[in-house]
């Protein structure tokens, strides 16, 4: 059974299609990162999964429970940290967390300890008696994350969990999200931050214009790009035409260019191509001075699959 | 049920933290009765005996109306301050969520109305536990009906808060002004009285006056009034439950 499964899921706002027949699955116990620019349908998908929005058509299930038919049961097993921190403006973080804990039946005997520990972990303890409206944007986001952490739900959803959070805070939140996964929760993180995706993801789903473009692990997504890995080889002598011809004859999807002593190759899997290249160079008597391999970024992956750059999307 | 009560208790705690508003509301009520009510009473005492009492009950009914409208505004504020999606993500049914709002509304109404009720009954020398309890039940039912109307209408606010505010202002003007809160139905001109029978406040006010022992010649049939007040409460709450469940969504996002 999947932790999350959607089938032909669509959501329409007036004349705008936010989701268009989305088929999407998340395995139990993994961190699935949904990557996409603003307006790609990430938040709409999450809102449907946590029963706040209703799909226009199609189905969505959370741990096998239909989000439309049995919304209350779904809400019992999931927790969400919203993109915009939702607070009770005149309440203190500690009382907000106490209320949240009581709504999710967290053992009253353990409640206080859990809240204190989580607030300290997320560096909120010093602000426990401030009113919500006096928290900084980053603190409010951390409080949003804290709600889900104290809850330890079967399905934890984080919508852009580290926007407005400083670099140190980001790392803390990411580590806590991983910890949550290690404790058995299934986690969905929606983001348009490539670093966040690379740090957290067991698998990545790329959404574009309300549709799933691709879903896989990050290494496989990068490998799926023809010419995705770039190998730069410096030889001790100028690269000969014969060597280029020999290397072209190694097979696989490869694009070579050379200038002086340097050879530049775009290959699908550098780890497969480099050993063959070094053997062929040895046979050809070309001595290698150095090899540099660079991987494509998730930006490149996104560009490859959607034809558009992730950064700078409206 | 436990979660519904937890949610309601949280809302009520917010309510209780706003003590100043209650004190101001009670003070305003006292001032209105002492000045305007007394003067009006002297002016019309020849045709309506004990008009001050009539007026006092009318003012309490308006307080009930305002209180019910408060619940609608509270609900809309939740949506626009971004709290509604959070509430909708909590593990309570939509009906339970509405029940928690209703409990909040009842608490709000009772806090605002109980001291004025006791004050008015004491002032007119008619303070009995039985009268106070039945008057509270009558106003409680009316309050539920008003809450139901306001929450049912709140979906308008999801399109536009301005339209909702304008609609509420218009609705308040119609429901309050065209009701019998300040004037007995039998004294209303013929072009005016047919409209009064469409206001739930007409029935709520007359029913409350009847249970408090006001002269029935100036009031509607109490059985009809009780039936309408109960019907409005049940009908509008059912409608609002359906709207909360089927129509209202917490946030629109892409």
Q: Looking at per-residue confidence, does B3 or A269 come out higher?
A: B3
Chain B residues with CB-CB distance to A111 below 8 A: none
**Alpha-carbon distance A197 to nearest alpha carbon in chain B (angstroms):** 19
Query: Does residue B251 have a pLDDT over 60?
Result: no
- Check if the beta carbon of residue A243 is closer than 8 Å to that of residue A203: no
Q: Looking at per-residue confidence, does B48 or A54 come out higher?
A: A54
Judged on CB neighbours under 10 Å (0-12, 13-18, 19+), A288 is middle
Chain A residues with CB-CB distance to B6 below 8 A: 99, 102-103
Place of tokens 């999801």: B158
Query: Does residue B147 have a pLDDT over 50?
Result: yes
- Which pLDDT does position B247 carry in this prediction? 66
Angle subtended by helix axes B51-80 and B19-31, to nearest 10: 150
Query: Does residue A311 have a pLDDT over 60?
Result: no
CATH of A4-222 given 3.40.50.300, 1.10.510.10, 2.40.128.20, 3.30.499.10: 3.40.50.300
Chain B residues with CB-CB distance to A40 below 8 A: 254
- Which pLDDT does position B158 carry in this prediction? 66
Q: Looking at per-residue confidence, does B143 or A306 come out higher?
A: B143
Chain B residues with CB-CB distance to A53 below 8 A: 249-253
Place of tokens 């140190």: A168
Query: Does residue A88 have a pLDDT over 80?
Result: no
Please state the domain extents for chain A. Answer: 4-222, 226-295
| Pairwise CB contact (< 8 Å): A43 & B3 | no
Q: At A122, which helix (H) or strand (E)?
A: none
Q: Which of A13, A40, A52 sits opposite B250 (nearest CB)?
A: A52
Rounded-to-integer distance, Cα B128 and Cα B114, Å: 13
Nearest CA in chain B to A104: B91
**Alpha-carbon distance B158 to nearest alpha carbon in chain A (angstroms):** 13
Chain A residues with CB-CB distance to B251 below 8 A: 47, 52-53
- Check if the beta carbon of residue A255 is closer than 8 Å to that of residue A266: yes
Place of tokens 């208790």: B9
Chain A residues with CB-CB distance to B254 below 8 A: 13, 16, 18, 38-41, 43-44
**CB of A16 within 8 Å of any CB in chain B?**
yes
Query: Does residue A194 have a pLDDT over 70?
Result: yes
One-letter-per-residue 3-state SS of chain B: CHHHHHHHHHHHHHHHCCHHHHHHHHHHHHHHHHHHHHHHHHHHCCCCCCHHHHHHHHHHHHHHHHHHHHHHHHHHHHHHCCHHHHHHCCCCCHHHHHHHHHHHHHHHHHHHHHHHHHHHHHHCCCCCHHHHHHHHHHHHHHHHHHHHHHHHHCHHHHHCHHHHHHHHHHHHHHHHHCCCCCCCHHHCCCCCHHHHCCCHHHHHHHHHHHHCCCCHHHCCCHHHHHHHHHHHHHHHHHHHHHHHHHCCCCCCCC
**CB of A111 within 8 Å of any CB in chain B?**
no
Query: Does residue A313 have a pLDDT over 50?
Result: no
What's phi and psi for B55, nearest 5 deg? -65, -45
Chain B residues with CB-CB distance to A16 below 8 A: 254
Query: Does residue A86 have a pLDDT over 80?
Result: no
**Alpha-carbon distance B42 to nearest alpha carbon in chain A (angstroms):** 46
pLDDT, tens digit, for every residue of A252-310? Answer: 778 888 889 999 888 878 888 899 999 999 998 999 999 998 877 777 788 778 776 66
Query: Does residue A9 have a pLDDT over 60?
Result: yes
Query: Does residue A114 have a pLDDT over 80?
Result: yes
**Which spans in chain A are helix H?**
42-49, 71-77, 93-103, 108-121, 137-151, 167-182, 194-200, 218-223, 241-248, 270-284, 298-306
Query: Does residue B252 have a pLDDT over 50?
Result: no
Maximum mean pLDDT: which of A210-219, A301-310, B37-46, B236-245: A210-219
Per DSSP, what are the bridge partners of residue A205? A34, A215
Q: Which of A167, A174, A117, A168 is nearest to A145 (CA)?
A: A174
Q: Which of B85, B119, B40 is nearest to A53 (CA)?
A: B85
Nearest CA in chain A to B250: A52
Judged on CB neighbours under 10 Å (0-12, 13-18, 19+), B252 is middle
pLDDT, tens digit, for every residue of B220-244? Answer: 899 999 999 999 999 988 888 887 7
**CB of A140 within 8 Å of any CB in chain B?**
no
Fold of A226-295: Alpha-Beta Plaits (3.30.70)
**CB of A87 within 8 Å of any CB in chain B?**
yes
Maximum mean pLDDT: which of A55-59, B85-89, B241-245: A55-59
pLDDT, tens digit, for every residue of B87-112? Answer: 889 999 888 888 888 888 888 888 88
**Alpha-carbon distance B83 to nearest alpha carbon in chain A (angstroms):** 5
Please state the domain extents for chain B. Answer: 2-246
- Which pLDDT does position A87 carry in this prediction? 65
Judged on CB neighbours under 10 Å (0-12, 13-18, 19+), A290 is exposed
- Which pLDDT does position A21 carry in this prediction? 93
Residues in chain B: 254
| ipTM score for this prediction | 0.80
| Pairwise CB contact (< 8 Å): A39 & B254 | yes
C-alpha torsion sign, points A176, A182, A184, A188: positive
A 10 A CB-CB count for B225 gives 24
Rg (CA), chain A: 24
Percent with pLDDT over 90 in chain B: 14
Nearest CA in chain A to B3: A103
**Long-range CB contacts (< 8 A, 24+ apart) of B224-230?**
B226/B138, B228/B200, B228/B203, B229/B138, B229/B141, B229/B142, B229/B145, B229/B200, B229/B203, B229/B204, B230/B141
Q: Mention every residue, 6+ apart, whose C-beta is less than 8 A from residue A15.
A: none
- Which pLDDT does position B41 carry in this prediction? 84
pLDDT, tens digit, for every residue of B149-158? Answer: 888 877 776 6
- Which pLDDT does position A300 carry in this prediction? 78
| Cα distances (Å, whole numbers) of residue A173 to A30, A77, A122 | 17, 21, 7
**CB of A83 within 8 Å of any CB in chain B?**
yes
């Amino acid at each position: 059974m999947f932790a999350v499964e959607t089938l032909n899921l669509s959501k329409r706002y007036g004349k705008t299609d936010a989701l268009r027949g989305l088929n999407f699955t998340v395995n139990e116990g993994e961190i699935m990162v949904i990557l996409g620019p603003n307006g790609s349908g990430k938040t709409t998908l999450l809102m449907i999964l946590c029963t706040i929005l209703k799909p226009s058509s199609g189905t969505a299930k959370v741990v096998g429970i239909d989000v439309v038919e049995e919304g209350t049961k779904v809400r019992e097993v999931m927790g969400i940290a919203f993109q915009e921190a939702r607070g009770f403006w005149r309440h203190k973080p500690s009382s907000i967390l106490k209320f949240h804990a009581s709504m999710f039946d967290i053992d009253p005997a353990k409640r206080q300890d859990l809240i204190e520990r989580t607030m300290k972990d997320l560096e909120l303890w010093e602000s426990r008696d401030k009113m919500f409206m006096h928290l900084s944007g980053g603190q409010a986001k951390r409080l949003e994350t804290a709600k889900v952490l104290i809850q330890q739900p079967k399905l934890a959803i984080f919508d852009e969990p580290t926007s407005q959070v400083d670099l140190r805070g980001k790392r803390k939140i990411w580590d806590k999200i991983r910890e949550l996964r290690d404790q058995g929760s299934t986690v969905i993180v929606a983001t348009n931050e490539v670093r966040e995706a690379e740090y957290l993801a067991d698998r990545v789903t790329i959404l574009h214009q309300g549709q799933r473009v691709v879903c896989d692990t990050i290494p496989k997504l990068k490998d799926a790009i023809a010419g995705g890995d770039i190998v730069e080889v410096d030889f001790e002598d100028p690269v000969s035409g014969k060597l280029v011809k020999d290397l072209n004859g190694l097979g696989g999807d490869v694009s070579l260019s050379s200038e002086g002593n340097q050879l530049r190759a775009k290959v699908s899997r550098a780890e497969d191509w480099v050993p063959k290249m070094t053997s062929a160079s040895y046979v050809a008597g070309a001595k290698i001075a150095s090899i540099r391999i660079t991987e494509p970024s998730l930006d490149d992956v996104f560009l490859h699959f959607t034809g558009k750059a992730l950064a700078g999307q409206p | 049920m436990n979660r519904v009560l937890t949610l309601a208790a949280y809302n009520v705690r917010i309510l209780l933290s706003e003590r100043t508003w209650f004190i101001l509301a009670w003070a305003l009520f006292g001032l209105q009765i002492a000045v305007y009510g007394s003067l009006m009473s002297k002016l019309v005492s020849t045709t309506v005996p004990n008009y001050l009492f009539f007026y006092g009950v009318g003012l309490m009914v308006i307080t009930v109306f305002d209180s019910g409208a408060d619940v609608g505004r509270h609900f809309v504020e939740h949506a626009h301050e971004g709290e509604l999606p959070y509430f909708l993500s909590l593990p309570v049914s939509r009906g339970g969520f509405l029940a928690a709002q209703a409990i909040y509304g009842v608490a709000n109404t009772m806090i605002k109305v109980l001291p004025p009720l006791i004050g008015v009954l004491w002032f007119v020398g008619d303070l009995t536990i039985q009268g106070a309890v039945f008057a509270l039940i009558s106003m409680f039912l009316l309050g539920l009906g008003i809450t139901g109307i306001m929450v049912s209408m709140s979906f308008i606010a999801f399109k536009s808060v301005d339209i909702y505010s304008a609609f509420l202002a218009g609705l308040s003007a119609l429901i309050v002004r065209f009701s019998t809160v300040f004037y007995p139905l039998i004294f209303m001109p013929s072009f005016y009285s047919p409209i009064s029978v469409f206001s739930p406040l007409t029935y709520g006010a007359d029913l409350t006056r009847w249970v408090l022992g006001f002269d029935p010649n100036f009031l509607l049939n109490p059985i009809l009034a009780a039936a309408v007040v109960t019907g409005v409460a049940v009908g509008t709450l059912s409608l609002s439950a359906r709207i909360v469940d089927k129509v209202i969504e917490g946030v629109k996002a892409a």
